């Protein structure tokens, strides 16, 4: 009994101790400070020192090109730094910049780059100057040209080698397919070699670097060799442009666009004036263009043998505008008088048109079909009827039928032919040769039929034209002869492609298409989709309009109620700007919120939650002079929604904050190679006005708002940044369910294209 009581006392004491420890570990965050800002310190004017005056003289000498005075001033800066170092004071840090300014006056580009390379070896460079010197040293036209030439060789021959090693490695697990794999690789290599430009993209970049060197260094000893390379590369560049123009001309001719083909053939002749193939293509294109012009002129003219009587047709044309029944009677009378004559098609066309106006859809299109089958040389209305029949605007049901059947046939062809469903792949070769090149892939296509058979029920048709034409038909003929056929198909189509809003609108517009229970389910799904789309809209005015529309149209649904609440939240929390500065960015750039910037209280960033702490979301510039502070919630948990406090700051405080924000961002771009400029015109416009103190009246236009966020480098790139391997080869493990192969093979790591490569395509 005594032992039991003792154990109970020990248990109670232990529980109390654990409770105290837990309560200490879960210290709640302090309430947000009523004023998170400190008074702005008065910044006294800096009195220039001797080093400052010398720096001014260095800048003047640099603009005037006075190298002697600049060198003397650089020596004076060096003497001042030596005196400071001897006295135990920090150096001015201006001497490396003085040397950089002196190097800038070196007229020879090669000598200037060598001087910059020597300056880069100094250990007293700050990060900004070090980054710029690295760029100056690396910006050597000859070195860059050689690097691009090396990239071109690696990409070309490495691509060939990768194709062969991939076929060998993936065929080890199934030796039966190894010969076919090798044949596919050889075909791929041959096609790559055939389609490769005479002067590759990387070689074009090298050509531009050589030209730059020749312009900057006309008297250098390397210039003669560089000019010879330029002439050779320029000739290959003209051949490349010729080949590209010929390829486009052939494609245009195959597509029936003779005018475009002639234009590309002329362009090829401008590059290589005596090219025989370009001349042949131009002759063929000109012949087709002349034939097209002749047919067009004939179609616009009237045949002299088909002169009509104005007295017989005048009343009919008048009746067509005024009286439909009378027009029908006149057309039938005119048709009786012109039976078995070349002019009988005109009243037949009028009768078909009147049938269409009376809603006799099937009969009218049957009449137009009969007219369209006539010969143009014997009928002056055949081409008009053919235009109506084939037009997707006037005859959408015919287009719908064709597009629906084409989409279904595309799926069937894909099931049996896989990648060859659309024919042999375009390799800029004659048609029979392209099919011969596909022979090695036939076995893989056959092996892939079981896999495609499994996928077939779950793959929807890729064409959107059947749905577009079905909707167009219902808009033109809501009570048409084929409406009962088209409407259920369109409903199923919209549901299969996930357009819940479209499916609900269609079902609501056609009573009886679905029952009440299914209609209610469609309404609920459509409401959810409409609200999700509205919430994903970036522009506030568009988002608000979409939410209001969803709340009205889908009132009574859960999603409609959510839309209404979102509208209230948007109105309550509206601000012209949402330029957020995270706590991580503030910690990396303390000057933004330091005494010379925003000047927030230091305890907000000391890591102690019991005296108030800034949330990771940091602060936000809301437009005008309003700044929103996000503090940790009472729980002290960073994952909880923060408590927000808005403060109206002075123009001077806002201008200081914005100035340091811009300086910190600029410094980051100059020193960190992974940092990239992110453009936002609305953000920059507001920050510039804030810097000038011109934000007393917020710009309330929705199109002037910005939602930019300044993040730290760690928040953007992670704790450990990804870096590519330095090894030139990588090991690849690859398998395929199509032919049930598994293999491993080495692959040469191809060099990536440079950011400016888009300029050389």
Per-residue pLDDT, 459: 72
Report, in angstroms and rounded to the nearest whole number, the Rg of the chain calculated over CA atoms. Answer: 39
Q: Which two tokens stand for residue 196?
A: 């490769």
Per-residue pLDDT, 323: 59
Q: Which two tokens stand for residue 175?
A: 């030796």
Per-residue pLDDT, 739: 57
Alpha-carbon distances of 237 from 134, 196, 225, rounded to whole Å: 32, 13, 18
CB 609 within 8 A of CB 646: no
Alpha-carbon distances of 345 from 322, 368, 440, 674, rounded to whole Å: 22, 10, 55, 73
* Terminal-to-terminal C-alpha distance of the chain: 92
Q: Which two tokens stand for residue 29?
A: 């965050």
CB 469 within 8 A of CB 403: yes
Per-residue pLDDT, 30: 65
Per-residue pLDDT, 25: 46
| Residue with the two structure tokens 């859960």 | 558
DSSP state string for 252-310? HHHTT-HHHHHHHHHHHHHHSTT-HHHHHHHHHHHHHHHHHHHHHHHHHS--GGG---H
597 burial (CB, 10 Å; 0-12 / 13-18 / 19+) is: buried
CB 465 within 8 A of CB 490: no
Helix (H, G, I), strand (E, B) or coil at 677: coil
Q: Comparing C-alpha atoms, which of 540, 542, 549 is closest to residue 569?
A: 540
Residues 656 and 594: their CA atoms lie apart, in Å, by 10
Residues 417 and 412: their CA atoms lie apart, in Å, by 8
Pairing state between β 579-581 and 709-710: parallel
Residues 455 and 415: their CA atoms lie apart, in Å, by 9
Residues 227 and 460: their CA atoms lie apart, in Å, by 58
Q: Which two tokens stand for residue 238?
A: 């003209």
pTM: 0.71
**122 Rama class: left (phi>0) / alpha (psi -120 to 50) / beta:** beta
Q: Comparing C-alpha atoms, which of 702, 561, 550 is closest to residue 623?
A: 702
Residues 648 and 624: their CA atoms lie apart, in Å, by 9
Reduce the secondary structure of 620-661 to three states and give it as a string. Answer: EECCCCEEEEEECCCCCCCCCCCEEEEEECCHHHHHHHHHHH
Per-residue pLDDT, 22: 43
Per-residue pLDDT, 428: 64
Alpha-carbon distances of 711 from 85, 612, 619, 625, 707, rounded to whole Å: 38, 22, 11, 22, 13
Residues of the chain scoring pLDDT < 50: 1-26, 303, 305-306, 308
């Amino acid at each position: 009994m005594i032992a039991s009581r003792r154990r109970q006392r020990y248990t109670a004491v232990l529980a109390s101790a654990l409770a105290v420890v837990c309560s200490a570990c879960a210290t709640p965050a302090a309430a947000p400070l009523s004023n998170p800002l400190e008074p702005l310190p008065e910044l006294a004017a800096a009195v220039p020192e001797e080093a400052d005056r010398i720096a001014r003289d260095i800048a003047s000498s640099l603009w005037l090109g006075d190298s002697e005075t600049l060198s003397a001033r650089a020596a004076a800066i060096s003497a001042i730094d030596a005196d400071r170092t001897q006295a135990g004071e920090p150096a001015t840090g201006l001497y490396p910049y003085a040397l950089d300014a002196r190097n800038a006056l070196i007229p020879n580009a090669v000598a200037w780059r060598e001087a910059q390379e020597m300056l880069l070896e100094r250990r007293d460079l700050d990060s900004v100057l070090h980054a710029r010197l690295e760029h100056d040293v690396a910006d050597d036209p000859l070195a860059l040209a050689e690097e691009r030439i090396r990239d071109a060789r690696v990409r070309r021959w490495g691509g060939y080698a990768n194709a062969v090693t991939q076929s060998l490695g993936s065929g080890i697990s199934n030796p039966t397919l190894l010969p076919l794999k090798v044949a596919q690789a050889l075909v791929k290599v041959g096609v790559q070699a055939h389609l490769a430009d005479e002067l590759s993209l990387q070689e074009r970049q090298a050509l531009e670097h050589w030209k730059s060197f020749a312009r900057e260094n006309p008297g250098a000893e390397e210039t003669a060799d560089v000019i010879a390379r330029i002439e050779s590369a320029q000739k290959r560049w003209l051949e490349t442009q010729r080949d590209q123009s010929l390829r486009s001309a052939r494609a245009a001719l195959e597509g029936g666009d003779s005018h475009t083909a002639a234009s590309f053939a002329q362009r090829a002749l401008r590059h290589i004036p005596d090219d025989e193939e370009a001349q042949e293509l131009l002759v063929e294109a000109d012949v087709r263009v002349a034939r097209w012009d002749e047919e067009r002129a004939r179609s616009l003219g009237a045949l002299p043998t088909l002169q009509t009587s104005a007295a017989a047709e005048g009343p009919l044309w008048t009746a067509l505008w005024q009286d439909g029944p009378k027009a029908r009677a006149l057309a039938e009378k005119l048709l009786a008088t012109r039976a078995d004559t070349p002019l009988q098609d005109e009243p037949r066309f009028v009768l078909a048109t009147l049938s269409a106006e009376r809603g006799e859809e099937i009969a009218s299109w049957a009449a137009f079909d009969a007219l369209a089958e006539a010969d143009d040389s014997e009928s002056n209305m055949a081409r008009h009827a053919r235009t109506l029949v084939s037009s997707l605007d006037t005859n959408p049901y015919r287009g719908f039928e064709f597009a629906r059947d084409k989409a279904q046939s595309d799926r069937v062809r894909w099931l049996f032919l896989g990648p060859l469903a659309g024919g042999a792949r375009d390799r800029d070769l004659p048609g029979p040769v392209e099919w011969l090149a596909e022979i090695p892939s036939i076995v893989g296509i056959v092996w892939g039929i079981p896999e495609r058979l499994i996928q077939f029920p779950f793959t929807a048709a890729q064409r959107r034209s059947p749905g577009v034409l079905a909707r167009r038909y219902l808009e033109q003929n809501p009570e048409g002869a084929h409406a009962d056929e088209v409407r259920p198909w369109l409903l199923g189509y919209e549901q299969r492609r996930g357009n819940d809003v479209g499916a609900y609108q269609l079902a609501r517009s056609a009573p009886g298409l679905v029952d009440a229970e299914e209609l209610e389910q469609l309404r609920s799904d459509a409401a959810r989709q409409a609200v999700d789309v509205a919430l994903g809209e970036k522009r506030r005015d568009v988002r608000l309009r979409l939410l209001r529309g969803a709340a009205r149209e889908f009132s009574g649904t859960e999603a409609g109620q959510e839309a209404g609440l979102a509208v209230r939240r948007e109105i309550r929390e509206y601000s012209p700007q949402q330029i957020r500065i995270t706590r991580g960015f503030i910690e990396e750039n303390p000057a933004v919120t330091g005494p010379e910037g925003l000047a927030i209280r230091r305890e907000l960033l000391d890591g102690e939650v019991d005296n108030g702490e800034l949330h990771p979301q940091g602060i936000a510039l809301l437009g005008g002079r309003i700044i929103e502070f996000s503090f940790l919630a009472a729980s002290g948990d960073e994952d909880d929604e923060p408590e927000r406090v808005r403060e109206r700051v002075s123009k001077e405080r806002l201008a200081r904050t914005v100035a340091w924000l811009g300086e910190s961002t600029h410094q980051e771009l100059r020193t960190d190679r992974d940092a990239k400029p992110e453009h936002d015109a609305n953000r920059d416009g507001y920050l510039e006005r804030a810097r000038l103190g011109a934000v007393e009246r917020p710009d309330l236009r929705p199109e002037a708002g910005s939602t930019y966020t300044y993040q730290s480098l760690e928040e953007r790139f992670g704790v450990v940044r990804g870096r590519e391997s330095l090894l030139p080869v990588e090991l690849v493990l690859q398998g395929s369910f199509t032919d049930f192969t598994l293999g491993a093979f080495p692959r040469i790591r191809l060099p990536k294209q440079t950011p400016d490569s888009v300029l050389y395509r």
